[in-house]
Amino acid sequence: MRAVTFQAPGEVLVQEVPEPKITHTADAIVAIEASGICGSDLHIYHGRVKIEPGFTLGHEYVGTVIAAGEDVQAVGVGDRVLGCFQTACGKCFFCRRGWFHKCDTSRTFGHGAALGSLPGTQAEQTLVPNADLVLRRLPEGMSDEDFSRKVNEDKSSVQNSCDFLETSGFNAITSETDPKSRMADIEKFTLAFPDSKYQEPVSNYAMYTLGPGQLNDKERLVSFGEKILASNPNSLAALLLLANYYGDDSKPGSGAKAITYSQKAIEVAKPDAADADKSRKLSAGAAHNTIGWVYLKQEKTAASIPELRTAAGLLKGQDDQQYARALYGLGFAYGKLNKLTEAREVLTEAVKIPGPLQGMSQDLLTKVNSARAKGK
Ligand SMILES: [Zn+2]
Ligand SMILES: [Zn+2]
């Protein structure tokens, strides 16, 4: 019979394998009609979970029983069945309490020797041990279309309560004042509603909560940002968070990461598009600012100037502190390149903006002015 087998990371093959045989009185053999491809299969495919080359994949399946051992009672030959992805013994400490998923001798289909050497279900036939526990008969006369219609009906009938819970969960996050509890709520919420319509605001709450003045946990903040990007690679909030973090970090390689995240943020924000709103322009401005400052740190002074100029253009009148940072960076870069007129121009603008960079801009302006005087 034919089966989908794992060969090596990145390589699967449909090949001939021996048909399964009943080896125990509680076994059944199912002729497979449909089998799912699951995220767990991808762990194997990508090489994160190791299994033996040639092993048959798959663990979600529908089919018809074509053979059954003499002790199999719940299903019989000719029954259309749906099966569980793993087997259980039904007798151990855990099984007797109904915790079949923790069974001492549980085996998982399609996961190699490590999980019980049970060949998978992406095959024409599959051996199912302990068939009484593992298989369930499908309702008589129910076609695949009927079944999927029923699943959809069940889903839409609980949709309202699901929406209600999702909104209540989001409201709980926004009204929680203790950062520690808020972060715990956010983690539970993200698990329960992975595709939530509140994903963007919840991510923003998470970053705020893990940020300075709240939990101030940089490592967790970065891993949260990476988690968000894994599910939504275009999350501007996460891109800016990571750009900012790596921009301030002094470890080797951090500058390059900051630039990559910033460039992606600019690509997503599209500040030049006709429909770009204030927040997208601000995001792009912050990203150009980060790139400019990384270049300054790397002593790529000439390259920093166009980035900081673009940043200043986008941030002017929108975010005073970010604007002041771009101007100060520009003043520094021009000064270094001995373009004193340009340096004076931007620093004169920077000293008008109250904030932490005002004094530093004033000092730099004084230096630039005295250099100009000497040059004359
Ligand atoms: Zn699965
Ligand atoms: Zn058990």
Model confidence pLDDT, tens digit, residues 17-55: 999 999 999 999 999 999 999 988 999 999 988 999 999
Ligand 2 geometric centre to CA of 106 (Å):
6
CATH fold for domain 2-138: Quinone Oxidoreductase; Chain A, domain 1 (3.90.180)
The pTM assigned to this predicted structure is 0.55
Nearest ligand to the C-alpha atom of residue 86: 1
Ligand 2 geometric centre to CA of 139 (Å):
27
Which one is predicted more confidently, 212 or 93? 93
Could you read off the pLDDT of 131-176 as tens digits, one per residue? 999 999 988 887 878 878 888 888 888 877 888 889 999 999 999 9
Could you read off the pLDDT of 86-140 as tens digits, one per residue? 999 989 998 888 888 889 899 999 999 989 999 999 999 999 999 999 999 988 8
Both tokens assigned to 189: 């919420």
Ligand 1 geometric centre to CA of 85 (Å):
7
User: Over pLDDT 70: what percentage of the chain?
Assistant: 100
Ligand 2 geometric centre to CA of 94 (Å):
6
| Distance in angstroms (rounded) separating the CA atoms of residues 5 and 322 | 55
Spatial contact of 312 and 268, defined as CB atoms under 8 Å apart: no
Ligand 2 geometric centre to CA of 50 (Å):
25
Could you read off the pLDDT of 275-309 as tens digits, one per residue? 888 888 999 999 999 999 999 999 999 999 999 99
Ligand 1 geometric centre to CA of 57 (Å):
11
Distance in angstroms between the alpha carbons of the first and the last residue of the chain: 91
Ligand 2 geometric centre to CA of 96 (Å):
7
Q: In the chain, what are the domain boundaries?
A: 2-138, 233-375
Q: Please give the backbone phi and psi of residue 216, each rounded to the nearest 5 degrees, phi first.
A: 50, 50
Ligand 1 geometric centre to CA of 200 (Å):
28
Ligand 1 geometric centre to CA of 283 (Å):
39
Helix 320-336 × helix 301-315 angle, to 10°: 150
Ligand 2 geometric centre to CA of 99 (Å):
8
Residue 376: per-residue pLDDT: 54
Ligand 1 geometric centre to CA of 56 (Å):
14
Asked whether residue 200 carries a pLDDT value surpassing 80, the answer given is no
Which one is predicted more confidently, 193 or 263? 263
**DSSP letter assigned to residue 117:** -
Nearest ligand to the C-alpha atom of residue 84: 1
Domain 233-375 of CATH type 1.10.630.10: no
